Structure 1
Amino acid sequence: MAQKEKIPVYSLRNLLQEPRQQADFQAEHFSSYLRKHYEHLHRPHRHSFYHMVLFTSGSGSHTIDFERFEVTPYQLYCMIPGQVHSWHFTTPVSGFVVNFPDSFFKDFLYNQYYLERFFFFSGISTDCVFQLPVLLQQKLPALFEELIGYASEEEASPDLARVLLLQILLLIGNEAGPRPAKAVPEQKKMVLHNLRRLIDTHYRSVRLPKEYADLLYITPNHLNALCKDLLGKTAGELIRDRVLLEAKRLLINESKTVAEIAYELDFQDNSYFNRFFKKYEGLTPDEFRKQFFK
């Protein structure tokens, strides 16, 4: 197979073209953003920053970590750093885009993990795409317009932009968030939150639920019961899904052979990686890769 080009990772400095724009924050109308960057946006790519897009008109599709979504008016996309995505539009689109780095709120808020409280920044594709309720369809466009004004003013206080963006995030979290059928104790939510963070950090080398249970100071049975209760999945399935996601990202993101990817993901036996991938995806790694490089 011919060597494949790496899928690019864009930083804010890659995208900011106007000297008046603040270096650690970007907000503009999506039509303008699209004119400048469509050559890159319609191909699979990653960002090193948080990426929010609100559509107000237009149609097409958006693929995030191999999940495809139809673009519709008043649909919001909220992505975390590292997710692979691409856009494909069938009619002209309009709306708003906001990009900000992981550090944007860290010197402003006491809790450095504050953004993780928002369901739409979970990094799970199906959580980060949703239709705005009518109340937010009326409120958010004006707030985004105000945010664009702050982004374009060289002398504007960055804290004003932070306060306004935080207001937008809180409104979305309060009005568009899922309403659980039952109240979930904070302790359970914290254990699940910490489990996901640990899996994101250690999935290459730590594969057993028991190992994660030890890191969390709980029993494996308790961990599995909690995952089944809150997510409908076992801890083992969460670990497996994270390994599969990274395998798919690497298969389309790196100029590496399948054997090299298997080794990077700690599958010492390439044939085992092939069997693992086909069992859960229905395709071999090579067949999956060929879908993207025809």
Structure 2
Amino acid sequence: MQTLTSRPPVPIYPFEPDELTGSSFFSIVRSEGELPYEADVLLPHRKAYYMLVFTKHTRGRHWVDAVPYVRQDHALYFSSPSQMLVKEEPTPFWGTRLQFTNEFLALQQNAALRHLPLIQNPHHGHELLLTPADEAIVDDLLAKLEAEHQRPGEWQHQMLSAYLLVLLTYLSRLYTEQFPGGEPSADQRLLKAYQAHIEDNFRELHEVGAYAELLHISAGHLSEVVKAQSGKSAIKHLHERLVLEAKRLLFYTPQALKEIAFDLGFSEPSYFNRFFKRETGLTPAEYRASIRKMYQ
């Protein structure tokens, strides 16, 4: 497959420094009916950070990767930097919003957080429903985080990391209950590593062999393990990720088809048209027309 690298066109909103501490890595904000979101979230976008939103009371609807979510009370919504988000309208919100960056997760004392299911999000989930007992525990941990956040000092970061580890571990247990899956084997870990590399490189690398080189294994072994663990070929995983991104751009943006093709690493729009038609049964133009008609 011939490719051409390009920058993604959808805006990526950076982490805004925390108003209380000035931190560029971590913030927590409690809302009592305010409108905490700016107008730009009404446009399709990504965030350059992880976000957890604990809702005591809310209303409205938002979209994550072309999936609509009617917001519910007593729920936990979470998103990662790769997901595409858009709200339909500004709405009041009662609850707590927690945000942190990849740089925060890269700190040595936060190493355990990076591997939790909620952060890895292998099922591409977005919503956890909380029982009253779950809500009480989550609310208490968020209150502890908020109190520590307002108490600067030598031990503040260690305490924030400790409370966050407990919170995300608890939420990860709920995640595995609501999105079932067992402890991964070595082959399952290889599958996850392959998927992670696809997430980082799908615009530039369109061949399984290139990912095998990144993983320091043969393309044959990678293909065999991926097929056995997922039931899908290695190239199918890569193609599905390209199709997902193409659908995001076709649905959410007004970009010309040629621009989308280049953004996804295709050197010619005709290659992109044939690829998309083969994978979905529709041309990109047909898909854009049908999906927008469906959600008008």
If the TM-score is normalised by the length of the shorter chain, which range does it land in?
A: 0.7 to 0.9
- Please give the secondary structure, in 1, of the residue aligned with 2:76: strand
2:36 corresponds to 1:8:
no
In structure 1, the residue matched to 2:139 is 141
AA in 2 matched with 1:98:
L
- Please give the secondary structure, in 2, of the residue aligned with 1:176: helix
AA in 2 matched with 1:238:
H
Q: What displacement does 1:85 show? A: 0.4
- Please give the secondary structure, in 2, of the residue aligned with 1:12: coil
Structure 1 distance, partners of 2:147, 2:242, is 41
Unaligned runs of 5+ in 2: 1-8
Aligned counterparts, 1:73-152, within 5 A? 73-88=73-88, 92-109=92-109, 111=111, 114-122=112-120, 126-152=124-150
Structure 2 distance, partners of 1:167, 1:182, is 20
Q: Deviations over 1:242-281 (max 9, x none)?
A: 2123334445677753213313323223123123224444
AA in 2 matched with 1:259:
K
In structure 2, the residue matched to 1:216 is 215
Q: 1:107 to 1:117 in 2, by over 3 A?
A: closer
Say if 1:59 and 1:72, in contact at 8 Å, map to a contact too.
yes
Q: Deviations over 1:155-181 (max 9, x none)?
A: 572222222111101111234324756
Say if 1:133 and 1:175, in contact at 8 Å, map to a contact too.
no
Structure 1 distance, partners of 2:182, 2:170, is 22
Q: What displacement does 1:70 show? A: 2.7
Say if 1:47 and 1:81, in contact at 8 Å, map to a contact too.
yes
Say if 1:21 and 1:153, in contact at 8 Å, map to a contact too.
no
2:189 corresponds to 1:190:
yes
Say if 1:50 and 1:80, in contact at 8 Å, map to a contact too.
yes
Say if 2:37 and 2:90, in contact at 8 Å, map to a contact too.
no
Say if 1:59 and 1:89, in contact at 8 Å, map to a contact too.
no
In structure 1, the residue matched to 2:3 is none
In structure 2, the residue matched to 1:3 is none
Say if 2:35 and 2:90, in contact at 8 Å, map to a contact too.
no
Structure 2 distance, partners of 1:212, 1:87, is 35
TM-score if structure 1 supplies the norm length? Answer: 0.78
Aligned counterparts, 1:16-31, within 5 A? 16=18, 18-20=19-21, 22-31=23-32
Q: Which moved more, 1:231-240 or 1:117-126?
A: 117-126
- Please give the secondary structure, in 1, of the residue aligned with 2:108: coil
- Please give the secondary structure, in 1, of the residue aligned with 2:274: helix
AA in 2 matched with 1:151:
H
Q: 1:134 to 1:176 in 2, by over 3 A?
A: farther
Structure 2 distance, partners of 1:225, 1:184, is 17
TM-score if structure 2 supplies the norm length? Answer: 0.78
Structure 2 distance, partners of 1:30, 1:287, is 42
Q: Which moved more, 1:68-77 or 1:115-124?
A: 115-124
Say if 2:60 and 2:70, in contact at 8 Å, map to a contact too.
yes
In structure 2, the residue matched to 1:167 is 166
Q: Which moved more, 1:164-173 or 1:216-225?
A: 216-225
